Amino acid sequence: MSFIAIALTVLVALIAALHLYWALGGLWPGRDEADLSRTVVGLTFSSRMPPPRMMGTVALLLAGVAAWPLLIAPILRGLGPAQLATAFSILIAAIFLFRGLLGYSAAMQQRHAAEPFATYNRLYYSPLCLALGAGFFVFAFNGGVA
């Protein structure tokens, strides 16, 4: 077990738990749905959160990603070719890096311009995605023991 694997698991698990909380109707860090939507979605044309089913799906996918470094990848490496586990780790890294870079694109900045999301995205959300992507790349290229 490594520091990077533990850090990736803990960070992504927290993000998954937050998405599940929202899927179940939680409002933090907002005061109401419109405030929460402006804070975590930032769409300029909507003050509603995505449907609970969508948020639950995201939470489930993130939970799988959280389990990957500590549970799934080591098992997969033991059962089959290590290249398969490495490829999935690279795929996860690429998705996080794509989301991180997308946050700085003009298209996303226009579509998700509601405040405080726009500011939080530049300062926190996109950098966190870039860091997670980098972490998954390090994990992938160090045989899952980074």
Condensed to tens digits (0 to 9), the pLDDT of residues 85-137 reads 889 999 999 999 999 999 999 999 999 999 999 999 999 999 999 999 999 99
Find the mean pLDDT for residues 42-63. 96
Q: Can you tell me the distance from the alpha carbon of 128 to that of 67, in angstroms, rounded to the nearest whole number?
A: 18
pLDDT reported for residue 5: 92
The pair of three-digit structure tokens given for residue 33, joined into one six-digit string: 């749905």
Mean pLDDT estimate for the chain = 93
pTM, rounded to two decimals: 0.92
Q: Residue 144: pLDDT band by 50, 70, 90 thresholds?
A: low
Distance CA 108, CA 78 (A): 40
Among all chains, which residue has been given the structure tokens 């860090």? 29
Q: Which amino acid is at 33?
A: E
Q: Where are the alpha helices (DSSP H) in 68-141?
A: 73-79, 82-102, 106-111, 117-120, 126-141
Question: Quick one: average pLDDT of 33-52?
Answer: 96
